[in-house]
Structures are given as structure tokens and as C-alpha cells.
Structure 1
Amino acid sequence: MTTFYFVRHGETMVNRAQCFNGGGTNSTLTEAGQAAAKRLGSLLADQSFDALLTSPLTRAVETMDAIVSQTNQSQPAIMVVDDLKEMALGDWEGQPGASLTNHPQYENYFHHPELFDAKQIHAESYQAVLERGMLAIKTAQTAYPDGDVLVVAHGIILLFVINTLLGIPFEEIRSQKMVANASLSVLKSNGTQFEKVVWNKTV
């Protein structure tokens, strides 16, 4: 069975400012974000992985590099996977969340993914994000059927991929809590179903 170690990238200045941090915002980690990623690496110091998969965005790559720098085991080469990039948020990229509360899609974005009209803000749909995220995970599961796979990605894509793997219906996913920056969630698969082993752990 494949075991996935899902990590959300460390804190960025955009996160700290409570602005939208989508696929079109290529921010770097704060010092606190770097430190938290290294602590996560120390937690995984004795874990060897069969694959290391990261989003191409700088904040994810920096998080992966920080984790790997703390491990004691020989690790495979890091693979950059475009399909793990965060949801593209179009006109909302980098904007303060508080400034958009009156937008007609604001409520749908946060609470009704099945109703969210991405075209109104030139963004990517939740359905498209989930489709490419699941493709990345299913490809890894096929390639490493008995492996340990570390995946570093982002809040929205991890929210939808992880909860879909756990059987949460699409329209209910936005009601689930997003995992924290520099957090670890471990899911194990028997080939057909996934179960939680670790959830949203930070150090």
C-alpha cells in the first residue's frame, strides 16, 4: 500500500498578511516559515522516501528543500509536479481577503465550491484543481504501490485532494478545516481506500 506524507508549505508574507495566496502568487517563505519547515524535517529525519513530489511554486520548493536538509536518510531526487500547483485565483491573487467580502462569488468560494463561478474572477475552478491534483496522486500511487511518498503542496489543493481521498463529497469539502502551514498529514492506502495516520501535525 502507498503511504502519502502530505505537507502544506511554510508561512509566507502573503499568508501573514491574510491575502489570497493562489497559483499566480509566487511568494517565498518567511523566516518563521523556513524554521517550521526545518522542524518538520527533523520530525521526519529517520524516514526514507521513495518519491519526493513538490509543487513548482517557490514556497513549496523551499519547504521541500528545508525538510530534506534535515533528514538522515538518502533520499531520491526531488520531482517538480506542475499539477500540484495551488489553485489559480485570477483577479483575487495577492488581494486582502477582507477587501472582497462583498464580491458575489466570495460566499461561494468559501462555502459552496459546487456553485463557485471561477470565470467571474478569471480563476481556476475547484473541479479543475481537484482533477489535476488527483491525477498527480493517482500517478504516484501507480508508480509506488508499496512506497512512501512525500508531497509538498498548498492549502486549497491539499484540502480538496485529501478530503476526496477520504471520501468527503465535493460540495462538503469547503466545510472541512484547511491544514496549517508547515503541517504534516499522513494517509495510507490499501489500493482502494485511504485512512488517516497523522492529521495536521505541526512542530
Structure 2
Amino acid sequence: MGDLIVLRHGQTEWSRDGRHTGRTDVPLTARGVADAAALAPMLARRHIAAVFTSPAARARRTTELAGLAGGPAGSPTVKQDPDLWEWDYGGYEGMTTPQIQQRRPGWYLWRDGVIPGDAAHPGETVQEVGARADRVLARATAYLPDGDVALVGHGHMLRVLTARWLGLPASDGRLFRLDTGTVSTLGDEHDEPVILTWNVPFAS
């Protein structure tokens, strides 16, 4: 059985500045490009059976720079999976935590959630993000008998996905800090799901 390789996309201006970036398509910074490209040699040593990426440009670009797309004949096809989109932050899209807390003192995403935004940003509950993560895992794990599966996406979504892999509630994603430009691996020990590595910078 292979492992799940969990990649958070490289840095963007919004992630650098702490702005909640759900469905807004923000490109990688120069550092984000360099971090993603630095991952390619490590991934080239893995036997990757399938690649799933968020449709967001920042995730797709990370996938390309990391050498997971456009490989030689026989390379896995990259599948864009809408369920890998980041948490829809609704009316908090583009805001930092301190800005939100000016309106809602003590606000904490994992406990208090988001407010509705416009038609493009209706917002999601953590349970709705968890349901999307479950669908991603169902599709991805079908390929694990053939090798590793790479999942390229976003910080909060991948934290929720990790919690669900471990059989925890979606809200327990709060326990797993995940920085931009990092790779993590999920696997099993004695047939029980575990974290094998976590939050390792691309350049490591």
C-alpha cells in the first residue's frame, strides 16, 4: 500500500499576509514558486499512482512545479478535484484574523465558523468541509494499492482531511498546523491510520 502525500501549495501574497484565502484565486509569489520547484527531486523518487489537485491556480501551479504534471508517458494523470478547494470563508474572505476579531472579539475559525458572503462566497461549516474531505479520501484511497497518491491543496482543507484520515471530527483539524510550501505524508501502522511526516518544508 502506498502513502497519501499531502502538499500545501506554495506561498501567495494573501497567505504571507495572513488573509483568509478561500475561493479567491491568488497566484504564487516568487518564494512560492521556488518552494514548489524544490520538491520535485524528492517526489521523483516516489512511485506515485495518482495525483489530485484543487482547481485553484495556486495549487495547479504547485503541482506543475513539483514535477507532478506533464511527465513522461505512463505518468499519472492529474485529476482536478473540486472537493479539494479551500474552506469557503464566506464574508471573511480576504480578511485577517485580527480584522475579524475587531468585529467578533475572541473569534476562532474552528469553533465559531464564518458568516455568509456574496454569491461567490456563501461560506461553509466545518462539517461541510469535512464531508468534502471524506469524498476526496474515498477517491484517493482507491489508488493506494498501486502506489502513493499526491493531494495538492490548501491549509485548512488539508488539515480537515488529515483529521478525517485519522477518524477524528473535522473540527480536530485545528490540531495540525500546516504551513505553505510543505509536504506531509499519511499512512498506516498495524492497519491503523497515522501521520508519518508532517509540515516538512519543500526545501528540506
Do both share a fold (TM > 0.5)? yes
Contact 1:42 1:71 in 2 (8 A): no
Partner of 2:187: 188
Q: Structure 1-normalised TM-score?
A: 0.85
Moved more, 49-58 or 69-78: 69-78
Mark the runs of 5 or more structure 2 residues left unpaired by the alignment: none
Deviation of 1:69 after TM superposition, in Å, equals 6.3
Contact 2:89 2:115 in 1 (8 A): no
Q: Structure 2-normalised TM-score?
A: 0.85
Deviations 1:11-37 (A, max 9, x none): 001111221111x21101001001001
Partner of 2:90: 90
Deviation of 1:105 after TM superposition, in Å, equals 8.2
Contact 1:46 1:72 in 2 (8 A): no
Amino acid of the residue matched to residue 7 of structure 1?
L
Amino acid of the residue matched to residue 40 of structure 1?
L
Contact 2:2 2:148 in 1 (8 A): yes
Partner of 1:138: 138
Deviations 1:45-97 (A, max 9, x none): 22231101100001100100111169987521211000000011111111233
Partner of 2:6: 6
Going from structure 1 to structure 2, the CA distance change for 1:192 and 1:135 (only over 3 Å counts) comes to farther
Alignment of 1:46-65 (within 5 A): 46-65=45-64
Deviation of 1:180 after TM superposition, in Å, equals 1.3
Going from structure 1 to structure 2, the CA distance change for 1:171 and 1:140 (only over 3 Å counts) comes to closer
Partner of 1:43: 42
User: Which secondary structure does the structure 1 equivalent of 2:145 belong to?
Assistant: coil
Contact 2:159 2:177 in 1 (8 A): yes
Mark the runs of 5 or more structure 1 residues left unpaired by the alignment: none
Return the alpha-carbon distance in structure 1 between the equivalents of residues 60 and 105 of structure 2.
31
Partner of 1:166: 166
Going from structure 1 to structure 2, the CA distance change for 1:163 and 1:41 (only over 3 Å counts) comes to same
Once superposed, which parts of structure 1, at least 4 consecutive aligned residues long, lie more than 6 Å away?
Answer: 69-73
Return the alpha-carbon distance in structure 2 between the equivalents of residues 83 and 69 of structure 1.
19
Contact 1:48 1:75 in 2 (8 A): no
Deviation of 1:2 after TM superposition, in Å, equals 3.8
Return the alpha-carbon distance in structure 2 between the equivalents of residues 137 and 127 of structure 1.
15
User: Which secondary structure does the structure 2 equivalent of 1:145 belong to?
Assistant: helix
Contact 2:51 2:68 in 1 (8 A): no
Return the alpha-carbon distance in structure 2 between the equivalents of residues 69 and 140 of structure 1.
15
Number of residue pairs matched? 197
Amino acid of the residue matched to residue 149 of structure 2?
V
- Counting aligned pairs with the same residue, the percent is 26
